[in-house]
Amino acid sequence: MIKIIHQILCLWLLIFLAACGDSTPQLERLSDDAVILAFGDSLTYGTGAEKNESYPVILENTINRKVINAGVPGELSMQGLKRLPKLLDKHQPKLLILCHGGNDILRKENLAEAETNIRQMIALAENNNIPVILLGVPKPGFFLSPAKLYANIAENTNVIFMPNLIADVLSDASMKSDPVHPNKAGYRQMAAVLANTLQDAGAL
């Protein structure tokens, strides 16, 4: 009887582990000359650190692929949506890392409109067969968590969603330059986690 119970428990454990396997969607391998477009606002630009310490610069040096820093400090999602098509045409990226909407949150703009804008950014990329990694931006507060609009977007799109990367960095005082921006160490951490995600997804 004990043996049967043990076998049943082992079977359930195997089922559980199978269900909890690698949840990172798979990407096509990035060729050595592939271009990645890092698109967003000040979090992408690297506010809070030197120009060569932004996460796109560090990521480029880590993975040996070209990473374009297309971050514009202070930009709202509506402005970003207007800016993105030209950059997609110019750089023809094989991957888009999208981190937008933070200024909409900080300025208390209409977040339903921000969600629509970010969805349209993703659609622009996917219509060009460009996969997207979406970074969640946290709401201001003592306990940082991403604004709900990002989970809403991730639920019915094909993005690789990283909800807590920025929140985790900004929750560590040693990795931020101010309440809403990382410092050099924070951007280095962002780049390291993104590089690991690309590795897990089969892109590297």
C-alpha triplet 77, 145, 108: angle, nearest 5°: 40
In a domain, 10, yes or no: no
- Per-residue pLDDT at 100 exceeds 50: yes
In a domain, 5, yes or no: no
List phi, psi (to 5°) of 157. -130, 170
With 0-12 CB in 10 A as exposed, 13-18 as middle and 19+ as buried, what is 5? exposed
> Which residues, 6 or more positions from 1, have their beta carbon under 8 angstroms from its beta carbon?
none
- Per-residue pLDDT at 169 exceeds 70: yes
Q: What is the pLDDT of residue 187?
A: 98
In a domain, 144, yes or no: yes
Note the pLDDT tens digit of each residue in 23-58: 578 999 999 999 999 999 999 999 999 999 999 999
- Per-residue pLDDT at 19 exceeds 70: no
Per DSSP, what are the bridge partners of residue 176? 182
| Strand blocks (E) in 34-110 | 35-40, 66-71, 95-99
Q: Which domain holds residue 83?
A: 29-200
Q: What is the pLDDT of residue 142?
A: 73
Give the alpha-carbon dihedral of 69, 70, 74, 77, to 10 degrees.
-140
Note the pLDDT tens digit of each residue in 125-138: 999 999 999 999 99
User: Measuring CA to CA, which residue among 120, 161, 148, 129 is closest to residue 25?
Assistant: 161
Which of helix, strand or coil describes residue 7? helix
Continuous segment of H or E residues that includes residue 14: helix 2-19
In a domain, 6, yes or no: no
| Interatomic CA distance for residues 26 and 132, integer angstroms | 11
In a domain, 91, yes or no: yes
Domain containing residue 57: CATH number: 3.40.50.1110
Confidence band (pLDDT; 50, 70, 90) for 5?
A: very low
In a domain, 3, yes or no: no
In a domain, 9, yes or no: no
**Structural domains in the chain (count):** 1
Q: What is the pLDDT of residue 86?
A: 98
| Interatomic CA distance for residues 204 and 156, integer angstroms | 26
Do 80 and 100 meet the contact criterion of CB atoms below 8 Å apart? yes
In a domain, 79, yes or no: yes
